[in-house]
Structure 1
């Protein structure tokens, strides 16, 4: 046991020293000082641990630092309704283009017996009065915009969302700086919103036994645009209104997504697709699911012409997902991927059948992404 002088010498923090002075003259002064010393040592250990983490992260790239920081938040903070966002389940299975398709007016993909056709459309420009071609939505920002709009529709229980008041806050929540100008993030997000609002989805379903159906699903019924004075040519969206059929279907088939996980992969379209897809599968999977590399290439390989290059990219993307969620029951081998049934909490989402939250506010704490 340390002598009283050695004990006092180990206490340095001002608030703890104040407690020492307040206890002087007490019959139990030595015991109180020893207790305060233990608290000082606990603080010192915490500071040292934070320093070690900071040192380790300093050697990481930006994206790895973000994943590591968010994994730490996920491990130390409980999951609650405030952390959940929502996206339509169909969009978890039928991804958008990964890159800008240019002047292409249609994006087509097949998933087993199901097909998706995405048709580009036009919007009325409030500055020129012209109906202008918008192009197909693509990339991570289009997916994040959909995630945000679907979440707001579920949270507000309304197909109409006031975009101008909520989009900037969501961008910050995702770790993006909110910047204006020709190359600013505001313009990039608004461009994807305009493309989404102008497009139409067609989903083809086939039972393999002579019966098929085609569903026309325009996600949005109306998008109000305006050009404020001094906006440097940036068109702002006042509000967006989901098509009633899409909205009703969204309420029935909203897939929960942990906002912190989406933040970890906000810069990668394929990683977001993988996050959504695994979340959908885990909530419904009753027995092991095996997919061949050919299956995976058709689902996630839009950017890779060859299966060989896709395998390398997909392995890296899945490894990043498992950095954040080490309990995911996924294994890759020479034949493809094996996904085992597991509690959806492995991906920090509630099981199927959980009621959607009403009026839940976004999570207040954002993980460090530097």
Structure 2
């Protein structure tokens, strides 16, 4: 009974979101952006643990991430850990959106952690299992990381590596997320990273992102299908193994990944009704679809 009630509540939420999205095209404030390479090869879904480097591949494109450092209690340095899960994805979408709209490397995060989190659709909460501490931890991990891309094919190779940020000022207290500080928190993106995310960003609808923000896989699938819908001119069929390798390498097995992916695709398609796809046995087949954000925006 409890499971049925949760399903009914979720269906009602999606129906309301569908009505909002279909009632009008997204305004400028409703549009979010994501770097196209990070749509094709995505960040970790779950904690990779204490590793020196993490990587994922998609055909000729490889992504790798190195964690930043922090000062340990003994005065030495230790790895800060790698960014993973939903928060870095939401933060990265915010970064790409700000860069696309304003074209600046230095981004103001505001005087309140609470207001920044709410702007990203995250509800602040305190305590040991609250959102504020985990959010700020993931933000520090992301801003301190180094991201590298390698494009390779026979006879040619191209590499790009950059720290996400070369300067970060965080004045927030996660124990008091409503506290306003004397100075605004800010981050300055490295020049190399700034240049890389300006190229061919993928637009998406923030109203849809708000509904799927609790799942890293759902966020990845939404940006990925949005990207695919804009570039394909005929149906494309991929095995679940191929989709898994691009978006879900953290899953223990492909069948479990496929089951979750089908569930999230169904949720996304309830809101983005123009998304056309099929899931024949062992495959995902995408058809050319009207993008969730009209091209002329």
Q: TM-score range by the shorter chain?
A: 0.7 to 0.9
Which residue of the partner structure matches residue 136 of structure 2?
190
Distance between the aligned counterparts of 1:141 and 1:271, measured in 2? Answer: 13
Q: Number of paired residues? A: 290
RCO higher in structure (CA 8 A, sep ≥6): 2
Shift of residue 131, structure 1, vs aligned partner:
4.7
Q: Residue 146 of structure 2 contacts residue 163 of structure 2 at CA under 8 Å; is this kept in 1?
A: yes
1:172-198 deviations in Å (ceiling 9; x for gaps): 245432223443322222111100111
Partner Cα separation in structure 2 for residue 130 and residue 82 of structure 1: 44
1:333-348 alignment to 2 at 5 Å?
A: 333-344=280-291, 347=292
Report matched runs for 1:125-140 at 5 Å. Answer: 131-140=77-86
Classify 1:164/1:62 alpha carbon distance in 2 versus 1 (closer, same or farther; 3 Å). farther
Deviation readout 1:229-287 (Å, 9 max, x if unpaired): 9859x9x9821111112222322322211110110100000000001111111222223
Question: Which residue of 224, 239, 263 maps to 1:277?
Answer: 224
Equivalent residue for 2:234, pick from 256, 271, 287: 287
Is residue 61 of structure 2 the alignment partner of residue 114 of structure 1? yes
Partner secondary structure for residue 110 of structure 2: coil
The verdict on how the C-alpha distance between 1:173 and 1:72 changes in structure 2, with shifts beyond 3 A counting, is farther
Report the 3-state secondary structure (helix = DSSP H, G, I; strand = E; otherwise coil) of the residue aligned with 2:284.
Answer: strand
Taking a change above 3 Å as real, the CA distance of residues 173 and 58 of structure 1, as seen in their structure-2 partners, is farther
Alignment-derived partner of residue 158 in structure 2 = 213
The answer on 1:171 being equivalent to 2:171 is: no
Residue in 2 that maps onto 1:240 = 187
Judged with a 3 Å threshold, the aligned counterparts in structure 2 of structure 1 residues 64 and 195 are, in CA distance, closer, same or farther, namely farther
User: What SS does the corresponding residue of 1:141 show, helix, strand or coil?
Assistant: helix
Asked whether the 8 Å contact 1:123–1:132 carries over to 2, the reply is yes
CA pair 256-324 structure 1, distance change in 2 beyond 3 A: same
Question: Where do residues 296-311 of structure 1 align in structure 2 (5 Å cutoff)?
Answer: 296-311=243-258
- 1:330–1:339 CA contact under 8 A, matched in 2: yes
Decide whether the 8 Å contact of 1:114 with 1:203 is kept in 2: yes
- 140, 145, 150: which one aligns with 1:199: 145
Alpha-carbon contact 2:64-2:148 (below 8 Å) kept:
yes
2-side partners of 1:160 and 1:62: how far apart? Answer: 40
Contact 2:118–2:124 (CA<8 Å) still a contact in 1? yes
C-alpha deviations, 1:16-48, integer Å up to 9, x for none?
Answer: xxxxxxxxxxxxxxxxxxxxxxxxxxxxxxxxx
- State the match for 1:268 in structure 2: 215
Indicate the SS of the match to 2:197.
helix
1:147 aligns with 2:147: no
Query: What's the RMSD between the two structures over aligned residues?
Result: 2.9
Distance across 1 between alignment mates of 2:282 and 2:251: 18
**What is the CA distance between 1:151 and its match in structure 2?**
1.7
Which residue is equivalent to 2:200? 253
TM-score, structure 1 as length reference: 0.70
